[in-house]
Amino acid sequence: MGNLTDKPELNEKKGKIGNLDSPKNPFDYSKRQYGTVPLDTDRAPFQWVSEVAYKNVHRIVSRGYDTSEVMEEGYGIVDMLFIDYQARIPLVEEEQMLNYVMILALEDGLSMPAVMSRMVARSKTFLTQAAGASILAFGHAYGAYSAFGNRLEHYLDIAEAEGLTLEQAAELLVKENIHDEALGVSSLMLKDPAARRMIARAEKLGVAGKYIEFTKEIVKAAQNLSEEPIGLDMMGATGATMLDLGFSPEATWAILAVTRAFASGAHYIEEVERTESCRTGQTLTPKEFYDGPEDRPVPPLKDRDKVAKSGICHTIDEWTEAREERKKIVGSGHSIVEEIEDPSKKSGIKKVGKL
Amino acid sequence: MDREPLIRRKTAISYKTEEKTVMRGYDLSELAEEGYSFSDALFVMYQNRIPTEEEEKMLKYEMGVFMEHSMSPSAVAAIGVSAGRPNLPCAIAAAVSTFGGVHGPGAAHGYMLNKYLERAKKEGKTVDEMAKTLVDEYMDAGRPVMGMGQPQHIDSDPRAEPIHLRQEELEIEGVYLEFQRALEKHFHARRKKEGRSYVGVNVVGSGNTALMEIGFSPNAGWCLGSVCRGFSCAAHALFNMKKGRAWGASRNEPMVQMIDLSMIKYVGPEDRIVPKQEDRQEHARREKEKGEYKKWVI
């Protein structure tokens, strides 16, 4: 297929169009072809390539296991997670541990995923839309399992390369990341034993490994450095346990975000049951919430030249000064810096925060 | 650290204090410590009860068999979104959001069953009679009967009948399975009578029947199915993110990629000249009067 064609007559009829004939362009626009690109027969045709699963008319097969056969043999959803993500049947103890983790990860009260699900629900949507939205709450602070896990792996790599003990590696990690939301150590679980119990259960089941060991060292190092009382939190306990169960940081992120989405469905349902839908323009924002510029008259359009200010900065100094001013405009984005990288193997953002 | 609620709501689902997280009255940590499964916890979440062992087994089976489905709209969405290399949750959210009126329409199937069971009660009909009414009404109106047929597993969905069988084996069959079985019987009979090909029950027809039977509402069942698929879609997205090419258009790959330029087939209006601004109004007026554009309106 494909019909790539030169159409000199059409191009001629079109004549000059804006800047498209500028000699500064690295092309001659008037000679460009129309039509679609023929199928590439030199290479293999496109197919959905997957190491994870295939299906045909009769079967669905994940990592070599027919999923119907897996269920008929008495395995379940938790086993399937090991199959899909790790291409293996888990030990009974590993299956028990993941069940445990997922129960703890299922519900977190009116936290962000639930709130997002509820907000979407108020717009009269499908439940699936709300469940999907709840997953978007998982970032590099809330549910930051990718950031947590990749950091552990990074410092374990450093320890190996530089011959550091776990204790030394933990001290280095804490020194460089003490304020990070995904440290796994905080004041959040000082009165709640759930995180510590999770680690105890992993040890009892014999599934605790180097990540839990390292996390314990991180807790000690952080406690030594902090002036406030802190301890292992759910991020640390869950993240380390999942890594010891063999899940990658990204797989952990995915599995726990999806686990929470099961609960977001209940929050969606309750929101629909107990509140009204919200219409366009319905929600007011009281003036007392507002701390922007005072109310002011819109200048007549004819006076635009008198009131307009150019945003163009011609020198670095001008730019620096303007930038500082712009940082004061809350909501402009100038006070935020992010280093966004390809998150294929890492957490996706090297650094996020205020300047 | 600010630990104030993000929104103020009365909720009957859970509460969380500095000491514990409690769902439907049960401390989550205690629930896990006692050895309950994740499937048990979902019964507590949606139904405020600990299930029987058989019910727990049914849910575990249903979710396990539904989780992975290779290339379906949900996995394709996850892979498509991952091509731009956003954060992984974006790909998963997209995958879960593909579940609608056609892809895994669990809620629609559940509401259909409930509606006709209510009618059976009101009209004094048996389950079998009402199932026939449903099939006739849907097929007379040319509407697809929810839970029947699967575009890929055309000679019967490999997950479907085994779910029915497992439900029977676990002895947890009730009015929903009776209704669904009757629906399938009348559906097959009518298609046969009309000389049409065999169309089997699909995983929504059987799986959602089982979920409704064990007490989940249409929307709760839909959540369990569609969210559980999110697990596998995340794996597909991850595979592509870790081992595939971003963008899906590289010409350096031995295989033509997902959005290689040659994958585009165009069937829209012919190439044409953009009118100059001075001709715009006249051109636009003519175009509107001729009305040919209407055939392209979507």
> Could you tell me the residue ranges of all domains in chain A?
91-283, 299-354
Q: Tell me the per-residue pLDDT of A192-247, one tens digit each, with 9 for 90 and over.
A: 999 999 999 999 999 999 999 999 999 999 999 999 999 999 999 999 999 999 99
Domain ranges (residues) in chain B: 10-50, 106-218
Neighbours of B259 (CB within 10 A): 14
pLDDT, position A345: 58
List all residues of chain A from 307 to 336 with a beta carbon under 8 Å from chain B: none
Q: What is d(CA A299, CA A292) in angstroms, rounded to the nearest whole number?
A: 18
Q: Tell me the per-residue pLDDT of B169-193, one tens digit each, with 9 for 90 and over.
A: 999 999 999 999 999 999 999 999 9
Asked whether the beta carbons of residue B99 and residue A126 sit closer than 8 angstroms, the reply is yes
Q: What is d(CA A316, CA A333) in angstroms, rounded to the nearest whole number?
A: 19
Q: Establish if A166 touches chain B: CB-CB under 8 angstroms.
A: no
Low-confidence residues of chain A: pLDDT under 70: 1, 343-355
Q: What is d(CA A204, CA A352) in angstroms, rounded to the nearest whole number?
A: 38
Answer whether A188's CB lies under 8 Å from A234's CB.
yes
pLDDT, position A24: 87
Q: Establish if A250 touches chain B: CB-CB under 8 angstroms.
A: yes
Among residues B163, B219, B249, which one has the least CA distance to residue A270? B219
Asked whether the beta carbons of residue B21 and residue A139 sit closer than 8 angstroms, the reply is no
pLDDT, position A354: 45
pLDDT, position A346: 56
pLDDT, position A200: 98
Closest approach of B251 to chain A, Cα-based (Å): 9
Asked whether the beta carbons of residue B244 and residue A49 sit closer than 8 angstroms, the reply is yes
Q: What is d(CA B187, CA B175) in angstroms, rounded to the nearest whole number?
A: 18
Q: What is d(CA B204, CA B72) in angstroms, rounded to the nearest whole number?
A: 14
**Domain topology for B106-218:** Cytochrome p450-Terp; domain 2 (1.10.230)
The helix/strand/coil state of B87 is coil
CB under 8 A, 24+ apart: contacts of A7-12:
A7/A33, A7/A34, A7/B271, A10/A34, A10/B271, A10/B273
Asked whether the beta carbons of residue B21 and residue A274 sit closer than 8 angstroms, the reply is no
Low-confidence residues of chain B: pLDDT under 70: none
Q: What is d(CA B28, CA A107) in angstroms, rounded to the nearest whole number?
A: 8
Query: ipTM above 0.90?
Result: no
Closest approach of A324 to chain B, Cα-based (Å): 28
Q: Establish if A339 touches chain B: CB-CB under 8 angstroms.
A: no
pLDDT, position A94: 97
Residue whose pair of structure tokens reads 């299956």 in the numeric block:
A95
Answer whether B115's CB lies under 8 Å from B109's CB.
no
